[in-house]
Structure 1
Amino acid sequence: MLNLAVVLEDSARVYPDRTALVYGDLRVPYSLVNTLANQVANLLVSRGIRKGDKVALLCPNLPYFPFVYFGILKAGATAVPLNVLLQSREITYHLTDSDAKALFCFEGTPELPIGERGRAGFEAAEVTEHFIVLPATPFAKESQYGETLWAAIEGMSGEFSTVTTAADDTAVILYTSGTTGQPKGAELTHQNMLMNAMVSDEMFPRGEDDVYLTVLPLFHSFGQTVMMNAGFRRHATLVLMPRFEPVEALKLMEQEKVTLFVGVPTMYWAMLTAVHTGQASVPSALRTVVSGGASLPVEVLKDFKETFGLQILEGYGLSETSPVASFNQLGRPAKPGSIGTPIWGVEMKLVDADWNEVDDVGEIAIRGHNVMKGYYKRPEATAEVMKDGWFRTGDIARRDEDGYYYIIDRAKDMIIRGGFNVYPREVEEVLMTHPAVSLAAVVGVPHESHGEEIKAFIIRKPGAEVTEEELIAWAKENMAAYKYPRIIEFRDSLPMTATGKILKRELR
C-alpha cells in the first residue's frame, strides 16, 4: 500500500491543529483539510468513481485545490490537474484525452471566467459525467454553472478509509505540451510523486515554523510537488497566492513571516525591481529561495544575493520527472548558471541522437524513481523518449568536472514565456485554422520581463484580409493566455530548407 495522500494524513494525525493553509483571512488547520478531503472521497465513491478512474481539477491556488486533490487520491482515483488558462475547446480535449469521469471546476472571476469555460468544455466532452463547481463565494450552495462542492458534500462523512493503491498505480496525469502538436498526459505513480516530494523536502533546511509562499500554480508539477506535497509532508503552513504580483508577494512574505519561496526567474526579476524602486522591502523571515522552470540570468542571481542576502538555489526538472531531477544542493557550493547535480536516487547522463553517452555536450537523459510510467494511451510517443528506464528530455546541456550540469539550449524550439512552456507547433496549428492564414511560423523573441515573447510570422491566403490586431484578438479567444502570440508580422514568404522545413533560426 502506497498512496500519496499520506503526506496529508500523517501531518493531520500528528499536528491536527497546526495551520496548513492561509488564504486571505482564512486559516485552515491540517485536521480540517483532511476531513474535507475525506468528504470529497466519500462524494466520489457515492457517484460511482472507482479505483483507477480519472478525475480532473481546474482550480487556481485556493484552499479547494488540496481538498479535492487529496480527496481524489484517497478514493484511489487519478488526479488530472488542468491549467486554469485553458480555453473551452482545450478543456474538452484534456477531459476526453484523459478519460476523466468528473471535473471539479472553480467558478472563476470576471477577469478569468474559468467556470464558464469549464462548463462549456465539460458539455462537449462525452466521457465526463460529473461537474462539480468550486464556488467563488465561500460555502455557497448554488452556482449558475451547476451543483457546488458544498451542496454535494453536505451530509457526507468526514471519515474515510483510503483506498489501497500500489506504488506503481497512477496518482496523477500531468499534461505537457508536446513538440508534436497536442499535449500529452504524463502518468506519474504514487511512488514517483511521493519520492519526489520526500527528496525535495529533505533538500531544504527545516525550521520549526516553516511557512511557504505558494504562488507557483498547484496544477503544475513544480508547485504540486515542491510546495504542496513537500510542504504538507513537513507540516508547513502554505500561504496561497493565486496570482503573482511582486509588491503584494513581498508584503505577504513579511506579514505571514514566510521562510521559503520557490519561483520562476521572472518572479525574482520582478521582486528585485519592486525593492529597487522602493515599492516593497526585503522580507525579514525569508531563509530559503529556490528557482526552476527556466534558466535564471546570472545577473539576477548576483543582484538577489546582494539585495536579499540569499543565494537562489537552482534546480531542473520536467513534468515527466515528477518534476525535480537535479538541484544545487545545500552543503555543496551552488554554481551560478548551473542546474546543479542529480538529486538523491536519480542518475543523469548526456546522450546523442542514438542514445550513445557523450562527454562534452549532449541531450540530458534521466533515470530514477522520478521518471514517469509513460504518456497516457501513447505507446509510440513513450517509446520515442524512453529506453531501458532512461528518459530523454530534449534539453541540451554540458557537464563540468564536478558533475554540475548547465542547460545550453531548450528542447528544439520551445518558448518559455513567464515560466510557462509554449511549443510553437501547437500555436501554429491553431493559427492555421483561421480562414485568412495560409502558413504560420512561431518563434520566441527576447522580452525583458517574460524572458521570451511569442511572435508569429504569417503568410496570408491569396486575397484574404486580416490585420495584426484582428488576428491577435482571434488567437486570444482560441488559446490559453500564455500561449497566444502578442506580435504578428505578415510576410510574403518564409525562409525554408530544400525539404520545405521553415528555418526558424533565420526568423528569430
Structure 2
Amino acid sequence: MRKATAERPWFKFYEPGVRIKLEIPEITLVEMLKRTERKFSDNPALIFAGKTTTYREMNILIERMAKVFIQRGVQKGDRISIFMPNSANWVISFFAILRVGAVAVQTNTLYVEDELKALLKDSGAIGIVSIPQLLPRIAPIQELLGLKLIALDWLSAFSGLNGMGLADNPVFMDIEETLADASLDQVESPSIDTRSDELAVLQYTGGTTGTAKGVMLTHRNLVANAMQAWEWIVGREGEERVLTVLPLFHIYALTACMNLAMLSGGAMIILPKFEIDAVLQHINDYAPTFFPGAPTMYVAVINHPQIAEYKVSSIRCCLSGSAPLPKEVAIRFGELTGGRLVEAYGLSESSPASHLNPIFHARVGSIGIPAPNTDAKIMDLETGERELPPGEIGELVLKGDQVMLAYWQKPEETGAVLRDGWLYTGDIAHMDEDGFFYIVDRKKDMIISGGYNVYPRDIEEVLYTHPAVREAVCAGIPDAYWGEMVKAYIVLKDGMSVTNDEILAHCQGKLAAFKIPKIVEFREGLPKTAVGKVLRRILVEEEREKSRKQEKARRVLGDSQEEVAVS
C-alpha cells in the first residue's frame, strides 16, 4: 500500500508491540503454511472430533490429496468448490487445492440445489469437495455442470452412495481413502509455480443483500490479512489455540480462525457448527485462548444457565464480527470470562478485516481503528468524492493490502466499489477526532420514515439495554403514511416476559420520537446467515408478502361487496 500522505490520528492508539507498517512477504498461503510446518512441525495444528493432528502430519495429508488431485486432472487455475461443514479435512482440502495451483470456491453449506448450481456455474468450478449427506443437492447437477471431480468425506459412516448412482462414477473420489494411502508418499510431489498476486479464493458474498458476487482474493490479500490480525492480537507464536466454530466457508473464519492459526503455529479447535453446550464443553476441555465469533454466539454464552460450571478463563481475547456488537453483550462477556471481547469490522472484499478495536483500550460501540497497512476515510453520500471531517456521517471507504482484485466476471459492479484504489464499502459511518470509526448502518438498511433518516443500530442498542431482551433487530416496513415504518423484532431471554407497551416505554427518553418503533413483534428466533448475521432482508420480504396477501384479500372483499351491491 502506498504510504499515507499524512499522519493518521489513530496511530497513537495502536497497542504496544503493534507496528503501523508491516512488510508483507511475496509468498502464497501454501508457502506460509510450509514455513510454519518447518518451525512448529510437532505442534498440534488441528483438533477435531477428539483427534489431534500435528503440522507435520497435516502436511503429509495435504501432499497426498494434492497428488490425487493432479492424477484426477486438476490443473492450475481450475476452480474447486468446498461444500462441507467445518472439519479437519476441510482445512486439508483447502490447502491441497491451493497446493496444485487451483482456486478454492467458498460455498455455503446451507445452499439449496438451485443456489449451488448458480454458484458453481458462475465460478466455472470443475470439481467439488463435500460430504455424502449433501449429495442430493450435487448429484442432479453434476452432468449439467460437467463436474469432473466429486471428492467426498465421512464415507465410513454413510451407506446410501449406491442409491445415488455415484458408486461407480469415475468422477467420484473418497477423501478418507486418499488420506490413508501411505503409498502416495512415494509419488513425486507436484511442482506448481504460483505467484502471490494470483487468485487463491473466490469468496461469494450476497447472502444478506441479494445476488451473490465472487470476490477475487489473491494469496497476497489473504497472507496480508492474516498478518494484520496476528499483529493486532499480539499473539504468542506457537501457543495460541483458536476456537473455530464460525463456518470456514465464511471469509471471517477463513482469516481469523484458519489462516491466523496456520501463520502463527497455533492450533485450531474445530467444531462443525455452533451448539452452545458443545462449544462450552470444548472451551472447558481444550482451553482456547482466542475465540473469533459473532454477537449471537456471545449472547448464547452469557445467557447459558450453567455458564458458571464451565472453565472459560482461558479465553484471552475475542474479535466480534459479521454484525454490530451490542454494548451490553461486550460488557457482560468480559465480566463472565475475564477475556477481552472487542468489535472488529470487515467485509469479504477486504479479506475481511480492515478495522479492529485495540484489545486493551477498546471503545465500546466503535468498530475500532484501521489495521496496519490500512487507510480509511469518510466520503459524502451524494457523490462519494468529498472527504468529510470528523463527526460527519458518510460512506466508509478504505484501501490496503487486503483489498480484493475485483468481482469475478463483473466489471460494472467492480467499478462501482473500487475507485482509484479505494474500496467503497456501502456502510454509513463517521470518524471521531481520535480516528475511531463508528458504523451507523448499511446504506441499504437505512430507514427513511416521515422524511427522517433512521439507523436501525441506534434503536437496537437501546433495545439491548432492556433486561428481558436477548436479541433485537429493526427494519423499515413499507407504509402508506410514513413511507417506511420502524418495526422491532425481539427475542426474549428464557423465562422473561415483557409487553409491547413496556418496550416502547423503555425507548422513551432514549430515542427521538421518530426513531421509536411503531410496531414490536416478539419472536422465538430471527433468520440468520450461517455466521450469525441477522437477515434483515428476509424480515422485510416477510412483511411485503403479508402486505400483498392483505391487499389481495381487500380486492377480493371489494369485488364481493360490489357483486352484492349490484345484485
Q: TM-score, normalised by structure 1?
A: 0.79
Does structure 2 retain, via aligned residues, the 8 Å contact 1:95–1:128?
no
2:121 alignment partner in structure 1:
96
For 1:139 and 1:3, locate their aligned partners in 2 and report how far apart those are by CA, in whole Å. Answer: 36
For 1:18 and 1:137, locate their aligned partners in 2 and report how far apart those are by CA, in whole Å. Answer: 28
Does structure 1 retain, via aligned residues, the 8 Å contact 2:313–2:337?
no
Greater Cα offset, 141-150 or 244-253: 141-150
Does structure 2 retain, via aligned residues, the 8 Å contact 1:395–1:407?
yes
**Aligned length in residues:** 438
The yes-or-no answer on 1:389 pairing with 2:421 is yes
The yes-or-no answer on 1:219 pairing with 2:226 is no
Alpha-carbon spacing, 1:162–1:312, altered in 2? closer, same or farther (3 Å): farther
For 1:221 and 1:179, locate their aligned partners in 2 and report how far apart those are by CA, in whole Å. Answer: 14
The yes-or-no answer on 1:116 pairing with 2:154 is no
- Helix, strand or coil at the partner of 1:128: coil
2:322 to 285, 293, 316: 293
1:345 alignment partner in structure 2:
373
1:18 to 36, 43, 54: 43
For 2:60 and 2:159, locate their aligned partners in 1 and report how far apart those are by CA, in whole Å. Answer: 19
Quick one: which amino acid aligns to residue 292 of structure 2? V
Alpha-carbon spacing, 1:169–1:138, altered in 2? closer, same or farther (3 Å): farther
For 2:302 and 2:491, locate their aligned partners in 1 and report how far apart those are by CA, in whole Å. Answer: 13
2:522 alignment partner in structure 1:
none
Alpha-carbon spacing, 1:179–1:68, altered in 2? closer, same or farther (3 Å): closer
1:309 to 324, 328, 338: 338
What pairs with 1:255-270 in structure 2 (closer than 5 Å)? 255-270=285-300
Identity %: 32
Larger Cα-atom Rg: 2
Q: Deviations over 1:289-348 (max 9, x none)?
A: 2211111000111111222222312110000100000101246x2100111000000111
For 2:298 and 2:332, locate their aligned partners in 1 and report how far apart those are by CA, in whole Å. Answer: 10
Q: Deviations over 1:86-120 (max 9, x none)?
A: 10111111110001011111223xxxxx2322333
1:210 alignment partner in structure 2:
240
1:408 to 440, 449, 455: 440
2:205 alignment partner in structure 1:
176
1:150 to 169, 172, 176: 176
2:557 alignment partner in structure 1:
none
1:460 alignment partner in structure 2:
none
Greater Cα offset, 373-382 or 156-165: 156-165
Greater Cα offset, 20-29 or 319-328: 20-29
For 1:51 and 1:141, locate their aligned partners in 2 and report how far apart those are by CA, in whole Å. Answer: 33
1:134 to 153, 166, 187: 153
2:227 alignment partner in structure 1:
198
Does structure 2 retain, via aligned residues, the 8 Å contact 1:81–1:219?
yes
1:187 alignment partner in structure 2:
216
- Helix, strand or coil at the partner of 2:292: strand
* C-alpha displacement of 1:180: 7.1
For 1:297 and 1:249, locate their aligned partners in 2 and report how far apart those are by CA, in whole Å. Answer: 21
Quick one: which amino acid aligns to residue 299 of structure 2? W
For 1:280 and 1:330, locate their aligned partners in 2 and report how far apart those are by CA, in whole Å. Answer: 26
2:466 alignment partner in structure 1:
none
Does structure 2 retain, via aligned residues, the 8 Å contact 1:289–1:313?
yes
For 1:179 and 1:304, locate their aligned partners in 2 and report how far apart those are by CA, in whole Å. Answer: 27
Q: Mark the runs of 5 or more structure 2 residues left unpaired by the alignment.
A: 1-25, 167-171, 447-455, 458-472, 476-483, 494-526, 552-567
* C-alpha displacement of 1:494: 9.2
Does structure 2 retain, via aligned residues, the 8 Å contact 1:251–1:280?
no
1:361 alignment partner in structure 2:
393
Alignment root-mean-square deviation, CA: 3.2
Does structure 1 retain, via aligned residues, the 8 Å contact 2:316–2:340?
no
* C-alpha displacement of 1:202: 1.6
1:58 alignment partner in structure 2:
83
Quick one: which amino acid aligns to residue 128 of structure 1? L
The yes-or-no answer on 1:163 pairing with 2:219 is no
Does structure 2 retain, via aligned residues, the 8 Å contact 1:3–1:74?
no
For 2:131 and 2:292, locate their aligned partners in 1 and report how far apart those are by CA, in whole Å. Answer: 24
1:251 alignment partner in structure 2:
281
Alpha-carbon spacing, 1:411–1:31, altered in 2? closer, same or farther (3 Å): farther
Does structure 2 retain, via aligned residues, the 8 Å contact 1:141–1:149?
no
Does structure 2 retain, via aligned residues, the 8 Å contact 1:247–1:279?
no
Does structure 2 retain, via aligned residues, the 8 Å contact 1:95–1:127?
no
For 1:143 and 1:174, locate their aligned partners in 2 and report how far apart those are by CA, in whole Å. Answer: 32
- Helix, strand or coil at the partner of 2:95: helix
Does structure 2 retain, via aligned residues, the 8 Å contact 1:350–1:358?
yes
For 1:281 and 1:342, locate their aligned partners in 2 and report how far apart those are by CA, in whole Å. Answer: 35
For 1:492 and 1:59, locate their aligned partners in 2 and report how far apart those are by CA, in whole Å. Answer: 37
Quick one: which amino acid aligns to residue 150 of structure 1? E
Quick one: which amino acid aligns to residue 305 of structure 1? G
1:34 alignment partner in structure 2:
59
Quick one: which amino acid aligns to residue 340 of structure 1? G
* C-alpha displacement of 1:159: 5.8
1:322 alignment partner in structure 2:
351
For 2:149 and 2:104, locate their aligned partners in 1 and report how far apart those are by CA, in whole Å. Answer: 14
Alpha-carbon spacing, 1:180–1:202, altered in 2? closer, same or farther (3 Å): closer
Q: Deviations over 1:19-66 (max 9, x none)?
A: 111112211111121111112221222222221111111111111111
Does structure 2 retain, via aligned residues, the 8 Å contact 1:328–1:335?
yes
Q: Deviations over 1:152-190 (max 9, x none)?
A: 564534762452212221000000017874201000001
Quick one: which amino acid aligns to residue 317 of structure 2? T
For 2:126 and 2:152, locate their aligned partners in 1 and report how far apart those are by CA, in whole Å. Answer: 15
Does structure 1 retain, via aligned residues, the 8 Å contact 2:44–2:267?
yes
For 1:482 and 1:351, locate their aligned partners in 2 and report how far apart those are by CA, in whole Å. Answer: 27
- Helix, strand or coil at the partner of 1:491: helix
- Helix, strand or coil at the partner of 2:363: coil
Alpha-carbon spacing, 1:263–1:161, altered in 2? closer, same or farther (3 Å): same
Quick one: which amino acid aligns to residue 338 of structure 2? G
1:372 to 392, 399, 404: 404
* C-alpha displacement of 1:247: 2.6
For 1:139 and 1:18, locate their aligned partners in 2 and report how far apart those are by CA, in whole Å. Answer: 32
For 1:51 and 1:449, locate their aligned partners in 2 and report how far apart those are by CA, in whole Å. Answer: 51
Does structure 1 retain, via aligned residues, the 8 Å contact 2:351–2:404?
yes
For 1:374 and 1:29, locate their aligned partners in 2 and report how far apart those are by CA, in whole Å. Answer: 36
The yes-or-no answer on 1:446 pairing with 2:498 is no
Does structure 2 retain, via aligned residues, the 8 Å contact 1:35–1:159?
no
1:490 alignment partner in structure 2:
546
Q: TM-score, normalised by structure 2?
A: 0.71
Greater Cα offset, 151-160 or 172-181: 151-160
